Structure 1
Amino acid sequence: MSHYQPNIQDMQFVLSNVLNAPDQLKSLQVFEDLDDDLVQQVLDEAGKFVGEVVAPLNRDGDEIGAQWQDGKVTMPPGFKSAYQMFWQAGWPALSADTADGGQGLPTALEIMLYEMLSAANHGWTMAPGLLHGAYECIKHYASPSLKETYLSKVGTGEWLATMCLTEPHAGSDLGLSRTKATPQTDGRYALNGTKIFISGGEHDLTDNIVHLVLARLPDAPPGPKGLSLFLVPKFYPNGDRSAVHCDRIEEKMGLHGSPTCVMRFDDAQAEIIGEPGKGLNAMFVMMNAARLHVAMQGIGLLDAAWQKADAYAKERRQMRAPAGKEVKAKSAAEADFIIEHPAIKRILDTQRAWVDGGRVLAYQTAIELDRIKHADKDTAAKSQRWCALVTPVMKAAFTHQAFHGGSDCLQVFGGHGYVREWGIEQIVRDARVAMIYEGTNEIQAIDLLVRKIIPDGGQSLYQLLDDLMTDSNTETAEATQLRTLTQQILRASQQNHSLGHQVADDFLRALALVLLQWAWQRIDAQLSPNTPNVKDRWHAPSKAFSQWVLPEFAMRCHIIQTQCQTA
């Protein structure tokens, strides 16, 4: 089976036609020269690089994988040369400031690049996946001397970075972290402890690796407020190697091309980033950027699975498609292609509905991120509300769909999907981790409902729904019902304080469906008889969304209402 190829035309249609992104962004002075031609040029070149350089490495990345020996990690064949081409061509620096060696382009182009990369080769893409977040963290919180040494190196991707949070006893509860940071006479700190699940903690892709590490000072209080953030490189500016050791890499269900490392800090000399005890504040800049990138992994992987299933369904003959009346049985040579079978078409159109709607939401979120940076105060506040509510929905809903929808795409192959030859089973294995890392999907749901919506009495959600209604000139029955449902949760949670945790997953799914409904309203509004292949390419998934996806909303509402009544 051929490897993934980006469909730039579809992506450009969503960005430029559905969202009118160039005009949205040109209202920001920093992007006043942006136009469709520049966007097209960047996406075309990105698609060529991804399709010709990165995608062909996916199979070896899975089957050969990263190799550990005596503390050193060797990446799969071709990974290093591809990465050197990647950063030297300026791809990691698309949205970084020009003053830091970047190109100063919109965030939307960056996340579209990472959507393609994740679809083509998830394991390889893990290496640069944290660069943008590390760059933002260093830029906003590091001292001038640290910025001088590390900012442009990370911003351009010449050096890769890690996010060292998890410890053997402390996963989602970072407040349990025990890694110690002891002050030294020269103003630096000695780090001691072990971090696990560190993506790209050791490799041979770049000359240096910049580790951002959460640790606790000797006088720090217990819990998350006692954590500080530190920077320790693999190699210091004078060429000395730090006391950071990769003790092993994990044997995983998937993602074999990315080394998931156990990292030991043995009096590693580090410098603090930001203020003591404010490490999580700095780290969340990195984590929030990573969560949108993980959402793009979900969209990209689902698109890759759909591509394989769609291609297979168009060449596989089996039985005859139901015709509504009895017809003579066909020979094997006369049998219909399975894409003509309603059950197969339902699977393919449903996954297409998720991918296309997801792109609308993701690309709009990227536009909002740029508004937060560059727009006036009121516009930035509105964009911040969008990102705060939509980002956890994107991360949870689309990583869930990548795995479960990818499994549905595997079903199209029948038994052939379960063997390695066709490559679809790798996508399902690789996709599973995205539901776990950067905050599990359950944590995303709790963050949305318990930490954001309930504390402000639902006001931020109501304002978001108002914005959607203003944009589409109407409010759907589902959006209105979501308002009512939120009020029911607010009342019932006063009696049962655990209610929010119990129904958080269902609430997130309900909001995801309302957002997807808005996305498809935007897509449908731009379709015309002149839209290429409009019936099969766009009308079919639009219909599938209404028939097969949106009805889940009623189920989620019923679950939540039942829990509210028993509170």
Structure 2
Amino acid sequence: MPTYNPPLRDMQFVLHEVFQVSDEFKAMPRHADVDADTINAVLEEAGKFAAEVTFPLNVSGDTEGCTLDQQTHEVTTPKGFKEAYAKYVEGGWAALSCDPEYGGQGLPHVVNQCLYEMLNSANQAWTMYPGLSHGAYEALLAHGTDAQKKTYLPKLVSGEWTGTMCLTEPHCGTDLGLLRTKAEPQADGTYRITGNKIFISAGEHDVAANIVHLVLARLPDAPKGSKGISLFVVPKFHVNADGSLGARNPIYCTGLEHKMGIHGNATAQIAIDGAVGTMVGEPNKGLAAMFVMMNAARLGVGNQSLGLTEVAFQNALAYAKDRLQMRSLSGVKAKDKEADPIIVHPDVRKMLLTAKAYAEGARALQIYCTLLLDKAHHHPDEKERKGCDELVALLTPIVKAFITDNGHIATNACMQVFGGHGFIKEWGMEQFVRDNRINMIYEGTNTVQSLDLLGRKVLGNQGATLKKLGKLIGQLVAEEGVNEKMAEFINPIAILGEQMTKFTTEIGFKGMQNPDEVGAAAVDYLRVAGHLVFGYLFARMAQVSLRAIAAGSQDPFYVAKLQTARFYFAKLFPETVTLMRTARAGAKVLMDTDAALA
């Protein structure tokens, strides 16, 4: 059976030593009193909840799965899920970073991100029940009417109710412009909504009293395509004027998907048969409102793969230290044993360090992004808020795609460390691989994220936001460029930073002549950008570690961080050379292939 230990030391390092979040919070009146001791205390308790309450349900939940009663359309979650959720609500975890106006605790988003990393390591399927609620809360907070906020936000904040995002339909996939669900206006200002939705995570369950569905649909006179989509809030149960639950709304689960992974989460097929809903935001501008939830979900999906990468690494490392097989190529290491532990073998170490580097790079990126979100929402300087918001927009597709792709690499590598035992269910490794696989697909496939990054976030504003990222990297390069001890970390990002401008310009010019050139280069481009961001963050982590050692610290943590950073730059970062070459190969070798694909 697998085990899990919350990585509190690394979280504290990134939060307090690399990004010095307490100092950042002092500039934000809302968070000015949030200090390191408060954050550490919250995260310690969060780690206990993840490790002791939800993690023990991970394997059993995967084995049992969810059950649908076709007569009542009710779903029963695996044994223990409902009770664990009740403890989650009782502990106030749902309210951690929500607005105090609606019952929230008002802590920074960055603290909530660390909570969710640990929950995802412990049990991604369970975590999706409360996880989607936070996105629904954000969307209603940004675009809901006063009445909608009063009705739904306190219950979402407390966790008494959960939320979903009902987007796609059987014929749509990612192309939401094709959706057919209809919304008929009623005399009382409500709408009767009819249609079918699929792939609705946590779409039906028994862990909470009500489910708040955010549904995309079309008004009768709506224009075709994505410009004719409106957003509606459609509760499972009607809500009475006094806040109590009323009659059942005709929005039902008609089937559960039989999936490769995340068996403990109910991925529902939803039939909407004249259900009553109210509009969120303006008519035909539903996608703009829903993107608040979708962007939160994309950051959340990256966090899911971070969580799985971490727990897979922990278990693979423990196994590699214990498993005896063959002797070291450089001579016997365990003289008192009949074979050496497999951790002495170079390629086993490569697999372990790959997972470790991708986990630590992802953790730094997630914390950085959520710190930017806190500043975008609460910093008193408007210019600072806008700049942080732009950087988050640039980094969101990288978080979603790069971290989940890396999670696929890492969980598979960790399963490989186990050899044949990794393929066997009882060790838990194959579940981490299966659960992670969906993260590359939903909330916009990683190809869609790549097109969003290159086409919209970079070329769409002539590289203006990319230049801001480049400026941050340039500042670090200027600061440490003459420090010989930092050369192995600074030189690679300085070189790639310079190459990135020419690389981006070249693809942009080719794309102006043939848009398929952007599509052909996008996935490779995002991965190059991902390595540039990870390289920047690893350089910052190395900088802090070197300074701690120079100041006399004997903590082996800093030595370990430097060793991980050196591995990353030596073995993983050089992938960028190949990626830029394949991106430059262009669209012709893909599109001029009718005979090959006949």
Instruction: Give the TM-score range, shorter chain.
Output: over 0.9
Q: Is residue 194–residue 263 contact of structure 1 (8 Å, CA) maintained in 2?
A: yes
* Cα distance, 1:535 vs structure 2: 6.8
Query: Which residue identity is paired with 1:143?
Result: T
Quick check: 1:39 aligned with 2:39?
Answer: yes
Question: Is the partner of 2:238 in helix, strand or coil?
Answer: coil
Question: Is the partner of 2:223 in helix, strand or coil?
Answer: coil
Within a 5 Å distance, the mapping from 1:75-94 to structure 2 comes to: 75-94=77-96
What does residue 378 of structure 2 align with? 374
Question: Is the partner of 2:460 in helix, strand or coil?
Answer: coil
Query: Which residue identity is paired with 2:290?
Result: M
Within a 5 Å distance, the mapping from 1:298-309 to structure 2 comes to: 298-309=305-316
Q: Is residue 5–residue 120 contact of structure 1 (8 Å, CA) maintained in 2?
A: no
552, 557, 565: which one aligns with 1:542: 565
What does residue 322 of structure 1 align with? 329
278, 294, 297: which one aligns with 2:301: 294
* Cα distance, 1:471 vs structure 2: 4.0
Structure 2 CA distance for aligned equivalents of residues 531 and 213 of structure 1: 55
What does residue 15 of structure 2 align with? 15
Structure 2 CA distance for aligned equivalents of residues 32 and 82 of structure 1: 33
Question: Is the partner of 2:461 in helix, strand or coil?
Answer: coil
Within a 5 Å distance, the mapping from 1:376-395 to structure 2 comes to: 376-395=381-400
Query: Which residue identity is paired with 1:545?
Result: Y
What does residue 130 of structure 2 align with? 128
* Cα distance, 1:491 vs structure 2: 2.1
Quick check: 1:506 aligned with 2:524?
Answer: yes
* Cα distance, 1:330 vs structure 2: 8.3
Query: Which residue identity is paired with 2:325?
Result: Q
Question: In the comparison of the two structures, how many residue pairs are matched?
Answer: 564
Query: Which residue identity is paired with 1:342?
Result: P
What does residue 501 of structure 2 align with? 483
TM-score between both structures, scaled by the size of structure 2: 0.92
Structure 1 CA distance for aligned equivalents of residues 332 and 7 of structure 2: 39
Structure 2 CA distance for aligned equivalents of residues 129 and 15 of structure 1: 22
Q: Is residue 521–residue 584 contact of structure 2 (8 Å, CA) maintained in 1?
A: no
Per mean C-alpha deviation after superposition, the further-off stretch among 432-441 and 522-531 is 522-531
State the Cα deviation string for residues 128-184 of structure 1 (Å, max 9, x = none): 111221111111211211111111111222100110001000110000000011111
195, 202, 210: which one aligns with 2:197: 195
Structure 1 CA distance for aligned equivalents of residues 262 and 362 of structure 2: 23
Per mean C-alpha deviation after superposition, the further-off stretch among 131-140 and 2-11 is 2-11
Structure 2 CA distance for aligned equivalents of residues 329 and 547 of structure 1: 25
What does residue 257 of structure 1 align with? 264
What does residue 525 of structure 1 align with? 543
Structure 1 CA distance for aligned equivalents of residues 101 and 558 of structure 2: 47
What does residue 29 of structure 1 align with? 29
Structure 2 CA distance for aligned equivalents of residues 564 and 159 of structure 1: 48
Structure 1 CA distance for aligned equivalents of residues 207 and 443 of structure 2: 23
Structure 2 CA distance for aligned equivalents of residues 145 and 329 of structure 1: 69
TM-score between both structures, scaled by the size of structure 1: 0.97
Structure 1: gaps (5+ residues): none
Query: Which residue identity is paired with 1:278?
Result: K
* Cα distance, 1:452 vs structure 2: 2.0
391, 396, 402: which one aligns with 1:397: 402
State the Cα deviation string for residues 333-380 of structure 1 (Å, max 9, x = none): 331111111111111112111111111111011011011111211101
Within a 5 Å distance, the mapping from 1:330-479 to structure 2 comes to: 333-375=337-379, 376-472=381-477, 473=479, 476-479=494-497
Per mean C-alpha deviation after superposition, the further-off stretch among 459-468 and 242-251 is 459-468
Structure 1 CA distance for aligned equivalents of residues 456 and 68 of structure 2: 41
Distance 1:103 1:414, change over 3 A: same
Distance 1:162 1:331, change over 3 A: same
Question: Is the partner of 1:245 in helix, strand or coil?
Answer: strand
Structure 2 CA distance for aligned equivalents of residues 394 and 509 of structure 1: 11
Structure 1 CA distance for aligned equivalents of residues 218 and 567 of structure 2: 51
Q: Is residue 47–residue 118 contact of structure 2 (8 Å, CA) maintained in 1?
A: yes
Structure 2 CA distance for aligned equivalents of residues 432 and 446 of structure 1: 20
Per mean C-alpha deviation after superposition, the further-off stretch among 349-358 and 283-292 is 349-358
Question: Is the partner of 2:279 in helix, strand or coil?
Answer: strand
Structure 1 CA distance for aligned equivalents of residues 239 and 558 of structure 2: 59
Structure 1 CA distance for aligned equivalents of residues 455 and 579 of structure 2: 17
Structure 1 CA distance for aligned equivalents of residues 78 and 516 of structure 2: 47
Q: Is residue 473–residue 494 contact of structure 2 (8 Å, CA) maintained in 1?
A: no
What does residue 487 of structure 2 align with? none
Quick check: 1:112 aligned with 2:130?
Answer: no
Q: Is residue 453–residue 461 contact of structure 1 (8 Å, CA) maintained in 2?
A: yes
* Cα distance, 1:531 vs structure 2: 5.4
* Cα distance, 1:56 vs structure 2: 0.5
What does residue 560 of structure 1 align with? 583
Structure 2 CA distance for aligned equivalents of residues 385 and 237 of structure 1: 38
Quick check: 1:516 aligned with 2:534?
Answer: yes
Q: Is residue 539–residue 565 contact of structure 2 (8 Å, CA) maintained in 1?
A: no
Query: Which residue identity is paired with 1:542?
Result: A
Question: Is the partner of 1:187 in helix, strand or coil?
Answer: coil
Structure 2 CA distance for aligned equivalents of residues 66 and 121 of structure 1: 15
Question: Is the partner of 1:198 in helix, strand or coil?
Answer: strand
Distance 1:328 1:408, change over 3 A: closer
Q: Root-mean-square deviation (CA), in Å?
A: 1.7
What does residue 244 of structure 1 align with? 251
* Cα distance, 1:485 vs structure 2: 0.6
Question: Is the partner of 1:121 in helix, strand or coil?
Answer: helix
Per mean C-alpha deviation after superposition, the further-off stretch among 33-42 and 488-497 is 488-497
Q: Is residue 492–residue 565 contact of structure 1 (8 Å, CA) maintained in 2?
A: no
Structure 2 CA distance for aligned equivalents of residues 195 and 53 of structure 1: 32
Identity %: 44
Query: Which residue identity is paired with 1:416?
Result: H
Question: Is the partner of 2:200 in helix, strand or coil?
Answer: strand
Question: Is the partner of 1:333 in helix, strand or coil?
Answer: coil
Quick check: 1:275 aligned with 2:298?
Answer: no
Structure 1 CA distance for aligned equivalents of residues 173 and 64 of structure 2: 29
What does residue 233 of structure 1 align with? 235
Structure 2 CA distance for aligned equivalents of residues 391 and 284 of structure 1: 12
Structure 2 CA distance for aligned equivalents of residues 109 and 220 of structure 1: 41
Structure 2 CA distance for aligned equivalents of residues 44 and 154 of structure 1: 24
Query: Which residue identity is paired with 2:510?
Result: A
* Cα distance, 1:332 vs structure 2: 9.3
* Cα distance, 1:536 vs structure 2: 6.2
Moved >6 Å (runs of 4+): 328-332, 564-567
Structure 1 CA distance for aligned equivalents of residues 208 and 475 of structure 2: 48
Question: Is the partner of 1:126 in helix, strand or coil?
Answer: helix
Per mean C-alpha deviation after superposition, the further-off stretch among 457-466 and 284-293 is 457-466
* Cα distance, 1:328 vs structure 2: 7.3
Structure 2: gaps (5+ residues): 241-245, 482-492, 592-598
Structure 1 CA distance for aligned equivalents of residues 509 and 148 of structure 2: 49
Question: Is the partner of 1:169 in helix, strand or coil?
Answer: coil
Structure 2 CA distance for aligned equivalents of residues 41 and 328 of structure 1: 45
504, 510, 513: which one aligns with 1:495: 513
State the Cα deviation string for residues 181-219 of structure 1 (Å, max 9, x = none): 111122111111000000111100001110110000111
Q: Is residue 489–residue 564 contact of structure 1 (8 Å, CA) maintained in 2?
A: no
State the Cα deviation string for residues 37-83 of structure 1 (Å, max 9, x = none): 00110110101111110100101110001111121100101100110
What does residue 67 of structure 1 align with? 67
Q: Is residue 242–residue 268 contact of structure 1 (8 Å, CA) maintained in 2?
A: yes
Question: Is the partner of 1:354 in helix, strand or coil?
Answer: helix
